[in-house]
Amino acid sequence: MSDLNKLKKRFSELKKINYINNLLQWDQQVYMPDGAINDKSNLIKLVSKLYHKKLTSDKTKELIKKSEKIENLNLIDSAILREAKREYEKAIKIPIDLVKTIAKTSILGHNAWKDSRKKRNFTIFKPFLEKMIELQKEYGDRLNIGKTRYDSLLDEYEPGMSSELISKLFSNLKYKIKDILKKIINSSEEIDQKILEQKYDPNKQWEFSINMIKSLGFNFNIGRQDKSEHPFTVSLSSNDIRITTRVMEDYFPTCLFSTIHECGHALYNMGFMKDIHNTNLAGGASLGIHESQSRLWENIVGRSEEFWHYWYPKLQKLFPKNLNHYSQKKFYKSINSVKPSYIRVEADEITYSLHIILRFEIEKLIFEDQINISDLPEIWNNKTEELLNLQPPNDSYGILQDVHWSGGAFGYFPTYCLGNLYASQIFNNILQKDPEIPKKIANGDFISLLNYLREDVHQYGKIYYPKDLIIQITGRELNPEYFIKYLKKKFYRIYGVG
Amino acid sequence: MSDLNKLKKRFSELKKINYINNLLQWDQQVYMPDGAINDKSNLIKLVSKLYHKKLTSDKTKELIKKSEKIENLNLIDSAILREAKREYEKAIKIPIDLVKTIAKTSILGHNAWKDSRKKRNFTIFKPFLEKMIELQKEYGDRLNIGKTRYDSLLDEYEPGMSSELISKLFSNLKYKIKDILKKIINSSEEIDQKILEQKYDPNKQWEFSINMIKSLGFNFNIGRQDKSEHPFTVSLSSNDIRITTRVMEDYFPTCLFSTIHECGHALYNMGFMKDIHNTNLAGGASLGIHESQSRLWENIVGRSEEFWHYWYPKLQKLFPKNLNHYSQKKFYKSINSVKPSYIRVEADEITYSLHIILRFEIEKLIFEDQINISDLPEIWNNKTEELLNLQPPNDSYGILQDVHWSGGAFGYFPTYCLGNLYASQIFNNILQKDPEIPKKIANGDFISLLNYLREDVHQYGKIYYPKDLIIQITGRELNPEYFIKYLKKKFYRIYGVG
């Protein structure tokens, strides 16, 4: 076997170990009995250890070195080598003790965060957050990728992205979104959302969600949907993509939109070209690109008039008591109502990105050593005031609302907003190629759109870096103008302003 | 860390890898989407490889050797060392190529068997069976445990058991069971089973099965039940024991009795003492002892008059249309009807063991090189005639009915019958200690019985060899008389003979 093939085999074994870890995680979230939690964590720890040992072994180093000497590698092989090297070099920069300390602090921090949030009091979580930030600073310094330590953290989720670029993108975005928001708030349009809060039979919600994603192209021969507290998507191989959803009897948009969102992630994972199946390229180009797919389906498609032109009669038929006397137009507005709120996960399409910008600005301050952790709640509240014109009544509505920081996921939040930007730019490009897409959606043809996404995005997996991929697809760098244009066009019409 | 602790840590890691394999298998049977089958097999292969590599490494050998020098090991530590050594020594006797060839032949053989069975024609399966038998002969010869190569195979499932002893037990049993069967067949009692073949709502069957096993002591905090084509029990840790059942709308005993059966297995796995949790002792003493627990609950308890004294009114309430006009006594007889049939898995308590004896006698002939594989169908049919007075109409009702041989599981069948023998002997012993057990069962107290089983059997896991365990519990060696006595007492009453 050639050195390159040995390297490929090694990284496909690592991928398999990773899939096994994913199965353990999936099982933990979906079917594991409560009493198994500790044993399950130990299994996950063991698998992570096996992974780390294999990844950082001298054999890996040697195979990378030898493979680098091979000339004229094809596109896929050179990407496999690039990703192998990238992963190996990052892994050996981090001492195993730091990995372990972060893992331990993450568990303690998560519990403290839960307690803290329940008691609406930041002080319980504070020492754990402080410790985690220290560890993440060390982690970023050791990685030493990009210009700043925050760039190193960003690189974990969005390879090649810099805080400088995000700052530029987001500061542009911030003022434009605030401007749109102001117009909407000042409009006379009042949107009633009560229809969404009635009781809808959970079994019928589930059935509807399954039928819907089937028509979007979710392939149940290589995937399934289950229920979990927090919806997620996970791959257990390139032919085993699973999503979860959450069904609430008295708020049916939860099941509906989380299903479409996760389906968007799953369609990406189901669409890799056969040649990269189960290799280290069988993953999204970045979290931002992944999020672009989920958000494209959830928001651009799933909250569009055309989508509901097709689905609303079916929804009415399933829930006649709730919806028979409610027009499609009113329903469309109900699911697109804009209102500043404290909680990110409940935010509409306009204010969502403001929540992200707030988090990015704070993360940047933290990793540039510009603030005291004790001041965080106040800073959070002031920024909420600045961006959303709201004052959180307590820390649970403010700094304690998100789980991410307790686990050390700094640099993760920006990818949610980058997803919006990528999505609009990619969708705009598809509309240029095929202006009939909205009409097709209105007729229940979702596969035409899916085919463009497969062709442009899905098939490549990690072959291209996100910044190259977006240029390859759309001919230009990431530009927030498409998102702004999309928001204006959609919401000015809904609110009769502009 | 002491050498012994290192050894223990190593084998607890092996146990964890085994649990991960179990999770993969569970997922494959229960939730995996169809298209993932090949990728899933590759994951299982990888995990098996990791397991084998770790088990057979020099480090393992060294730690066993060093630990053997330690004096005065306590009961648990010496059993851990004994099992570690036993497993290691067996593993190094088998070349990895033989393991791989068996695995490959098993997959091909399984497909050929399915095809063969569908077409009711042994010749398709024959070359694969021949090959597998050759491989198993080599396997047995290399293991070289006990007096004969078949003893080596038996040792995989029933450590310490010999074909000589089984021959003695079974030949005794054979004539006595045939004698009982003759009396029953000649009796005037006609039992009608049509009541079992009506339509019973699958959801209610499921609900009933869950309530039932809860009352038997199945702990849902460390376990769950799902559905699969073939019911099974699996441990994903000492705190994560899962069973599956199969629900048939028009034959409800399938769900009912397979649930109790698997619950019996699960109760064993849930009952290990804390000190052996997740060690290499966290398993049944043997398949025979394991089967004794499932059969004790399924047959001795689950098909008893007392059991249905408690449950039948509840079953009637759940299925009033089916059962309101059917007496408890008639129901009890319906689920205990005796009738020789071709298919083992459909057999009653009397004829079941005859099916096993048939298989044992044939396996013995095979591994003593006394027959040609081409003659197997005829031998099978002749033995069916001899034991059950039936002539299978084709090979699917004869030699092709069971999956076991296609996977190389020779020496496995006897454990089903040994389970019956162990179960009666153990239950008899409990009745000596507490004659009120049947009355307690009639009152819905199943935990008293469970507590005896925990005390006598479950807690020890693999600490004792089966032959020592049965003496420790009952004061004497395994003796088929208890089983014969049990059958006579129960079935002579049902059939009004004796």
Chain A residues with CB under 8 Å of B17 CB are: 46
Sign for the pseudo-dihedral over CA of A375, A376, A379, A381: negative
Q: How does strand A223-227 pair with strand A240-245?
A: parallel
CB atoms near residue A186 (< 10 Å): 9
How far apart (Å, rounded) are the C-alpha atoms in residues A327 and A316?
10
Residue A173: is its pLDDT beyond 90? yes
**Interchain proximity A39–B238, CB inside 8 Å:** yes
b (16+ CB within 10 A) / e for B153-170: bbbbbbbbbbbebbeebb
Strand partners, A225: A243
How far apart (Å, rounded) are the C-alpha atoms in residues B354 and B182?
13
Chain A positions with Cβ closer than 8 Å to B: 13, 16-17, 19-20, 23-24, 27, 31-36, 38-40, 42-43, 46-47, 50, 219-224, 226, 236-240, 278
Annotated catalytic residue within B158, B262, B298, B349:
B262
Chain B residues with CB under 8 Å of A40 CB are: 236-237, 240
CB B162 within 8 A of CB B154: yes
Instruction: Please tell me which of the candidates A36, A39, A237 has its beta carbon nearest to residue B40.
Output: A237
CB B205 within 8 A of CB B256: yes
Write phi, then psi, for B229 (nearest 5 degrees).
Answer: -65, -45
Predicted confidence at residue A156, as pLDDT, reads 96
How far apart (Å, rounded) are the C-alpha atoms in residues A159 and A169?
17
Strand partners, B241: B223, B235
Residue B101: is its pLDDT beyond 90? yes
Using H for helix, E for strand and C for coil, what is the string for A236-302?
A: EECCEEEEEECCCCCCCHHHHHHHHHHHHHHHHHHCCCHHHCCCCCCCCCCHHHHHHHHHHHHHHHC
**Average pLDDT score over residue span A274-293:** 98
Residue A187: is its pLDDT beyond 90? yes
Chain A residues with CB under 8 Å of B13 CB are: 46
> What long-range pairs does B158-162 form, CB within 8 A, spacing at least 24?
B158/B286, B158/B287, B158/B288, B158/B411, B158/B414, B158/B415, B158/B418, B158/B466, B159/B86, B159/B285, B159/B286, B159/B465, B159/B466, B160/B465, B160/B466, B160/B467, B161/B286, B161/B288, B161/B414, B161/B418, B161/B466, B161/B467
**Interchain proximity A35–B219, CB inside 8 Å:** yes
**Interchain proximity B236–A34, CB inside 8 Å:** no
Residue B1: is its pLDDT beyond 90? no
In sequence order, which residues have a C-beta less than 8 Å from that of residue B220 and are 6 or more positions away?
A33, B214
Residue of B nearest to A19 (CA): B43
In sequence order, which residues have a C-beta less than 8 Å from that of residue B493 and are 6 or more positions away?
none
Predicted confidence at residue A126, as pLDDT, reads 97
pLDDT classification of A45: cutoffs 50, 70, 90: very high
Q: Residue B136, class by beta-carbon neighbours within 10 Å (0-12 exposed, 13-18 middle, 19+ buried)?
A: buried
In sequence order, which residues have a C-beta less than 8 Å from that of residue A223 and are 6 or more positions away?
A240, A241, A242, A243, A266, A270, B33
Give which of A26, A46, A243, A269 to mutate to test B binding, by max B Cβ within 10 Å: A46
In sequence order, which residues have a C-beta less than 8 Å from that of residue A237 and are 6 or more positions away?
A19, A278, B36, B39, B40, B42, B43
**Average pLDDT score over residue span A94-119:** 94
**Average pLDDT score over residue span B438-445:** 98
Strand partners, A18: none
Instruction: Please tell me which of the candidates A43, A50, A222 has its beta carbon nearest to residue B33.
Output: A222
Write phi, then psi, for B310 (nearest 5 degrees).
Answer: -80, -45
Helix (H) or strand (E) holding B240: strand B240-245
**Average pLDDT score over residue span B77-93:** 98
Count the alpha carbons within 13 Å of A350 in the hemisphere toward its beta carbon: 28
In sequence order, which residues have a C-beta less than 8 Å from that of residue A88 and are 6 or more positions away?
A55, A56, A60, A61, A64
Torsion of CA A332, A334, A339, A344, to 10 degrees: -80
Predicted confidence at residue A1, as pLDDT, reads 83
Predicted confidence at residue B129, as pLDDT, reads 97
Predicted confidence at residue B410, as pLDDT, reads 98
| Smallest Cα distance from B96 to chain A, Å | 19
| Smallest Cα distance from A162 to chain B, Å | 37
How far apart (Å, rounded) are the C-alpha atoms in residues B247 and B258?
9
The predicted-structure confidence for B354-385, as pLDDT tens digits, reads as follows 999 999 999 999 999 999 999 999 999 999 99
Chain A residues with CB under 8 Å of B236 CB are: 27, 36, 39-40, 43
Chain B residues with CB under 8 Å of A50 CB are: 50
DSSP state of B243: E
ipTM entry: 0.94
The predicted-structure confidence for A406-448, as pLDDT tens digits, reads as follows 999 999 999 999 999 999 999 999 999 999 999 999 999 999 9
**Interchain proximity B46–A220, CB inside 8 Å:** no
| Smallest Cα distance from B223 to chain A, Å | 6
The string of DSSP letters for A208-222 reads HHHHHHHHHT--TTS
Chain A residues with CB under 8 Å of B31 CB are: 31, 224, 226
Predicted confidence at residue A319, as pLDDT, reads 98
Write phi, then psi, for A214 (nearest 5 degrees).
Answer: -60, -45
CB atoms near residue B365 (< 10 Å): 16
How far apart (Å, rounded) are the C-alpha atoms in residues A121 and A118?
8
The predicted-structure confidence for B180-210, as pLDDT tens digits, reads as follows 999 999 999 999 999 999 999 999 999 999 9
CB A63 within 8 A of CB A36: no
Count the alpha carbons within 13 Å of A264 in the hemisphere toward its beta carbon: 25
Residue A269: is its pLDDT beyond 90? yes
Percent with pLDDT over 70 in chain A: 100
Instruction: Please tell me which of the candidates A20, A38, A50 has its beta carbon nearest to residue B43.
Output: A20
The predicted-structure confidence for B23-62, as pLDDT tens digits, reads as follows 999 999 999 999 999 999 999 999 999 999 999 999 999 9
DSSP state of B278: T
Query: Which range (A327-336, B100-109, B463-472) has the least confidence?
Result: B100-109
pLDDT classification of B330: cutoffs 50, 70, 90: very high
pLDDT classification of B498: cutoffs 50, 70, 90: confident
Tell which residue, B238, B209, B208, has the closest CA to residue B223. Answer: B238
**Average pLDDT score over residue span A352-379:** 97
Structure token pair of residue B470: 């049965």
DSSP state of B301: I
Tell which residue, A419, A416, A461, has the closest CA to residue A292. Answer: A419
DSSP state of B300: I
How far apart (Å, rounded) are the C-alpha atoms in residues B235 and A43?
13
CB A221 within 8 A of CB B35: yes
| Smallest Cα distance from B308 to chain A, Å | 30
Please give the model's pTM, rounded to 2 decimal places: 0.95
| Smallest Cα distance from B44 to chain A, Å | 9
Percent with pLDDT over 70 in chain B: 100
Predicted confidence at residue A498, as pLDDT, reads 80
Helix (H) or strand (E) holding B234: strand B233-237
Any idea which residues of A carry the catalytic annotation?
262
CB B453 within 8 A of CB B473: no
